[in-house]
Amino acid sequence: MFESSASESPQTGDVLEPSDRSAKSARSATSDSYDKSSSSNLDDATLDAYSHTITAVADEVSPSVVRIDVEGPANPQGARPGRPDQATGSGSGFVFTPDGYVLTNSHVVSGARRITVTMLDGRKLPGHLVGDDPDTDLAVLRVHATDLESLAFADSSAVRVGQIAVAVGNPFGFDCTVTAGVVSALGRSLRTKNGRLIDDVIQTDAALNPGNSGGPLVDSRARVIGVNTAMILPAQGICFAIAINTASFVVARLIRDGRIRRAYLGVAGQNVPLHRRVVRYHELARENAVFVVGVEPDGPAARAGLRDGDLIVAFDDKAIAGMDDLHKLLTEERAGHEVPVVVLRGDERHTLPVTPVLRQ
């Protein structure tokens, strides 16, 4: 802490004549006024530029965003003749081709008996499910219309934390609601209802609410960087979108095949930690493994010799620390190709040749 002494004499340069003091005060006041005015003008300009960006994005994106209303049996086995118990719901989606392909979330349309797509201009069109992939929570619909305004995809690998993110959707039925924020984080993982993990998820603070699911998250150039999918209900400003690079891959397969084909081994497992002594003894790269609790009879794993109680520690020369790691590696490309699976069985280490097959 600095202290000043009253006995210290002022320096020569600090002594001002009355006229000099007045002149300096006037200059100081003028300078302060100019600085405040300049700062205010700069703030106004920044805010105006931000507003212009958001309004321009909203104008360009909104015509491509649709509301999706679904009807489906709430209890198909318990429905009575003449009184079909129905569940209704709604979500969002967006047109990504001029000839009527619409991207949304799988959980928005899953199990739907009837799908209605409402455009910004009020047109209500029947939606036809092209295909969905619950593992990535994505689905593609088709509406019979032409010359629709569509949105372009960005490269989500180029997205940076802090950049502007704008979400457009239909929360609680309020059509074409726009919220804005920033990209809060990248590389998040999100678990779907069926237990699979979605990687490369974008976190944003652009407000999402029920009904926003399936709508686009776009950048300042109105290009889609993600598909809005979830929010943490007790929290504020923690929302998630599936990266559009993931969606691009899924969309192409859904349009071609109607589903995503993945390989499977035919094992049920759970994640377990390994004792340090075991890790050191076998020189393992990870301290966790997959404990096999069940093997499907005559499945790929059973034919390769896997047993209940085995610990899977590697698949195709890649360390495995849990079921999520295994799921990531079981892609369509590995189906039909023999790969080595390393398991620990008691004190022994075995390498078993397994040939995954496509999941039907």
Which one is catalytic: 132, 137, 310, 325?
A: 137
Coil, strand or helix: which one is 327? helix
Catalytic entry in 90, 184, 213, 310: 213
Q: Which tokens belong to 128?
A: 């036809």
Contact 163, 183 (CB under 8 A): yes
Q: Which residue matches tokens 């689905």?
A: 139
Please identify which of the residues 64, 107, 310, 325 carries the catalytic annotation.
107
Q: For residue 20, indicate whether it is catalytic.
A: no
| Half-sphere CA count of 14, side-chain side, radius 13 A | 4
137 is catalytic: yes
Do residues 311 and 280 make contact, with C-beta atoms less than 8 angstroms apart? no
The answer to whether 167 and 108 are in contact (CB under 8 A) is no
Write the DSSP assignment of 173-212 as a string of letters: G-TTEEEEEEEEEEEEEEE-TTS-EEEEEEEE-S---TT-
In sequence order, the 6+-apart residues with CB closer than 8 A to the CB of 126 are 114, 115, 116, 117, 143, 144
Close Cβ partners of 166 (under 8 Å, ≥ 6 residues apart): 54, 57, 58, 61, 178, 179, 180, 206, 217, 218, 219, 220
Q: Is 327 within 8 Å of 196 (Cβ atoms)?
A: yes
Comparing CA positions, the residue from 253, 248, 259 lying closest to residue 225 is 248
Active site residue 107: yes
Q: Are 134 and 239 a contacting pair, CB within 8 Å?
A: no
* Number of alpha carbons in the 13 Å side-chain half-sphere of residue 57: 26
Q: What is the DSSP letter of 280?
A: H
**What positions carry a catalytic annotation?**
107, 137, 213
